[in-house]
């Protein structure tokens, strides 16, 4: 009976892995530094900037696996067909914890001229609500309303364990054009 339960768990774990990979999630690859550099150099031209990981914040800090891939100016249409504009912060969440976790996008804020930007409530990313097993990663985005389209934007990410910021970086956005989502 015990070996049957173990076999069922193994089959269910395998099926879960396939389901996650089919929805855009990926298993954390074991890559060398050279292949990581090559992957970064292949990113699209409309990306403003990118950076690596957020630094060492302790193994229990869920914000540790969140990286910013870039900032973008985007346009979209709402349910009534009206166009709206917003700033999109593209991120990757890699669950390197020892338990299931969601992308901690609630710890991400943007500031412009020292003022915190409002979240774009018309934009939502369903990936932010997906739970990942340890070792998997997923792309997530968060939208913000710009106060000034020409002024730089500071992206800040707080630690999930405290009010300390584990990441701060300023992105000039004046050279970016709006593109459709």
Angle at 110 between CA 108 and CA 115, to 5 degrees: 135
Q: Which domains does the chain have, with CATH numbers?
A: 25-180 (2.60.40)
- Alpha-helical (H) ranges within the chain are 2-22, 33-41
How confident is the chain (181 residues) per 10-residue block, as mean pLDDT? 43 38 39 39 34 37 81 95 96 92 91 96 94 95 94 92 88 95 86
Q: Quick one: pLDDT at residue 61? A: 64
pLDDT for position 27:
42
Which residue's entry shows tokens 């709402």? Answer: 78
Contact 155, 169 (CB under 8 A): yes
What pTM did the predictor assign? Answer: 0.66
Q: How far apart are the first and last CA of the chain?
A: 52
């Amino acid at each position: 009976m015990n070996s049957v339960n173990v076999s069922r768990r193994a089959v269910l774990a395998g099926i879960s892995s396939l389901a996650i990979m089919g929805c855009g999630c990926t298993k954390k690859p074991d890559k060398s530094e050279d292949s990581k550099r090559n992957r970064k150099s292949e990113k699209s031209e409309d990306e403003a900037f990118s950076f690596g990981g957020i630094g060492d914040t302790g193994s229990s800090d869920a914000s540790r696996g969140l990286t910013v891939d870039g900032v973008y100016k985007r346009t979209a249409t709402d349910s009534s067909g009206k166009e709206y504009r917003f700033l999109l912060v593209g991120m990757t969440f890699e669950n390197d914890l020892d338990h299931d976790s969601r992308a901690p996008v609630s710890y991400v804020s943007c500031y412009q001229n020292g003022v915190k930007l409002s979240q774009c409530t018309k934009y939502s990313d369903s990936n932010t609500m997906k739970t990942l097993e340890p070792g998997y990663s997923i792309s997530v985005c968060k939208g913000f309303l710009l106060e000034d389209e020409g002024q730089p934007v500071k992206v800040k990410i707080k630690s999930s364990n405290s009010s300390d910021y584990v990441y701060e970086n300023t992105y000039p956005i004046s050279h970016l054009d709006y593109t459709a989502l």
